[in-house]
Structure 1
Amino acid sequence: MDPRRTVPEVVLDPDLPASVAGTLRSSPAILRAVRAGAVPPPSGPTPGMVLVVTSFLLVALMVTGPWGMVAIGAVVAAFGGTQALAGDPKRRDARRRLRLAAAHAGRFILPEDLDAGCRELLARAQSAVAGVLGSQVNGAGLLDAIDNSVTLPAEVWRLAQRLADLTRTRAEHDRIVPRDVPDDIAGVFSPYDDALDRARRSLTSRVTTLEEYAREVRRADAVYRAYRQLGVLRERTPDYERLLAATAEDRLAVPHIDRLGLQAKDVERVFHASIDEARRAGGHLLSLAAA
């Protein structure tokens, strides 16, 4: 499995509660609105509305007395409750999602938060992770050197945060550094350029490590499929032995039969070797994440 992505997906903090993460993931337009500066409306009555209602009740108190004001207040409250219940459910849901996204604005990263180079790196990382998590050997629990379902989303989140930081710093750098720097002082800016370049190379290395892990897992997947198919054939070995015995002399059939068993052991050795390679690649990724 080798899914190729050209555009990255939204990245969420893996520590978000599942219900919050599900709501945010299903609301990309609202996440973009929050990132663009949208502010959720207040959940309660506005100060202007409170002033109007208070003034109305004071007038009612002066005109009708205490009991009249209580009666009018009850009518106003009932009308307000009816209006709230009769409001558009879609608008209420949109406001709820907007408030939730605004409350967690620092816990998601959009493709738009990254420049072109950083978006490409994030897309590559997400492709690699999707390949590992969707693999048969991962589903069968054979990659026990690394808890992929926990470690890989956390690695993508850390990577996305650093890519967003690099994007912001690089954009600020481009705004500050003049384009027409005289040659005799251009060297003054080189340490800053080098810092940006080192950060980019470091992040590229992390993505490459993820891709190497995904490649080892793909190889392990292919061998695992062959290994399982061979297991089915091994159950039918007596049928093949019978065919060989029936079509050749026993002294010729025996080497063929022995070869079947040896080939099965060879595939089994390759399978275990490929799993070990994938585990080592995962262990290397884990050591990088801990660094």
Structure 2
Amino acid sequence: MDPRALPPRLVIDPSLPPAISAELRSHLHILRMARSGRRMDTTHNPAILLILPGFLLVLAVVAGSPLLMTAGVGIGLIVLFRWMALDSTYRTTRRRLRLAQAHAQQYILPEELDYPCQMLLRRAQNAVEAILRSRVHHAGLIDTIDNQVSLPEEVWQIAQRLRRLSSMHAEQGKIIPRDLPTGMEDAFKPYTSALDAAWTSLTRRVRHLEKYAKQVLKADKVFHTHTRLEALAAKTPEYQELLADTVRDDLAHGHIRELADQAAHVRKLFEESILQARQTAGELLRAPIGPDDMSGPPAVRPPRV
């Protein structure tokens, strides 16, 4: 399956402390419980398991039966260990649910977006992932905008707006009749145009990210070639010596110049690709998401699936 067609991943506000973010990210089912408003089922509280052995012990004392006493103690021990395990799970789940509810506005689930918005968010996530996994990023060669901080924040901002756009699009679909009376189309047009403009703005924003990722991947390829050439360049004296010893002087000088020229050419390509990536990153910063970033004709929004 094409990775671009996969649903987006969970998005969490990057301003959250790492420990809280990791806790939320690792328990997606708890986040869904919190979002749906579900509560813990108190009828299944593990403490209820203690009723049976307690009843047997009371009955044994009243009846004075050693057999019932032994059975009550045995069952009590089994239930106690079972209760300790279940109670720990119950308390942990309840704590995680409270955490998810407390930070309900700081994460976005994939299913909160309609299909077109899901695909747009996935494109943004793929672009950011490609940038952060690149060798030039890890080498600190393109981090002029602090990618590790700025790019997750960028995805979060895009995801928030896509969630709002999805909600308003669904609301509009319920309000606007499918078959409008003649002459009434223009009355609804400003509302549909507003959503189209928002979609255009967000699409443009994602394209900026994809352009940046494309430049970074290009720089990555040149960087790979550059590092290989650097390894060979360290052995240049050996090659020069070999040529000088085995080739006529006029040919040797030409080959030696080719070695130097090729190294300079690859270095120039590498520097240019890094510069282009940095310039694209600068463009990304100069085009923040905002209400004014809605100029130009609306992009065509894919149909809902």
> Would the alpha carbon gap of residues 35 and 290 (structure 1) be closer, same or farther in structure 2, given more than 3 Å must change?
closer
Q: CA deviation at 1:244?
A: 2.2
Which residue in the other structure is 2:275 paired with?
276
The separation in 2 between residues aligned to 1:7 and 1:139, in whole angstroms, is 27
Which residue in the other structure is 1:119 paired with?
118
Contact 2:4-2:119 within 8 A present in 1 as well? no
Could you give the per-residue CA deviations for residues 165-184 of structure 1, whole angstroms, max 9, x where no partner exists? 00000000001111111121
1:228 has 2:236 as partner: no
Which residue in the other structure is 1:24 paired with?
24
> Would the alpha carbon gap of residues 114 and 103 (structure 1) be closer, same or farther in structure 2, given more than 3 Å must change?
same
Provide TM-score, normalisation by structure 2.
Answer: 0.78
Q: Aligned residues: percent identity?
A: 47
Which residue in the other structure is 2:8 paired with?
8
Contact 2:11-2:156 within 8 A present in 1 as well? yes
Runs of 4+ residues over 6 Å off in structure 1: none
Q: What is the aligned length?
A: 253
1:132 has 2:98 as partner: no
Which residue in the other structure is 2:209 paired with?
210
The separation in 2 between residues aligned to 1:184 and 1:5, in whole angstroms, is 39
Contact 2:117-2:166 within 8 A present in 1 as well? yes
Which residue in the other structure is 2:77 paired with?
none
Q: CA deviation at 1:111?
A: 0.5
Q: CA deviation at 1:240?
A: 1.9
Q: CA deviation at 1:87?
A: 4.5
Q: CA deviation at 1:289?
A: 2.6
Provide TM-score, normalisation by structure 1.
Answer: 0.82
Corresponding residue SS for 1:9: coil
What aligned pairs does 1:92-103 form with structure 2 within 5 A after superposition? 92-103=91-102
* Residue ranges of structure 2 left out of the alignment (5+ in a row): 46-80, 291-305
The separation in 1 between residues aligned to 2:196 and 2:149, in whole angstroms, is 30
Which residue in the other structure is 2:36 paired with?
36
Corresponding residue SS for 2:183: helix
1:169 has 2:168 as partner: yes
Q: CA deviation at 1:96?
A: 1.2
Corresponding residue SS for 2:287: helix
What amino acid maps onto 1:224 in structure 2?
F
What amino acid maps onto 1:117 in structure 2?
P
Contact 2:130-2:217 within 8 A present in 1 as well? yes
> Would the alpha carbon gap of residues 260 and 84 (structure 1) be closer, same or farther in structure 2, given more than 3 Å must change?
same
Q: CA deviation at 1:88?
A: 2.9
Q: CA deviation at 1:229?
A: 0.7
What amino acid maps onto 1:159 in structure 2?
I
What amino acid maps onto 2:30 in structure 1?
I
Corresponding residue SS for 1:91: helix
> Would the alpha carbon gap of residues 245 and 5 (structure 1) be closer, same or farther in structure 2, given more than 3 Å must change?
farther
Which residue in the other structure is 1:191 paired with?
190
What aligned pairs does 1:31-180 form with structure 2 within 5 A after superposition? 31-40=31-40, 87-180=86-179
What amino acid maps onto 1:225 in structure 2?
H
> Would the alpha carbon gap of residues 123 and 248 (structure 1) be closer, same or farther in structure 2, given more than 3 Å must change?
same
What amino acid maps onto 1:30 in structure 2?
I
The separation in 1 between residues aligned to 2:225 and 2:178, in whole angstroms, is 58
Structure with more relative contact order (C-alpha pairs < 8 Å, separation 6 or more): 1
The separation in 1 between residues aligned to 2:4 and 2:169, in whole angstroms, is 27
Contact 2:205-2:289 within 8 A present in 1 as well? no
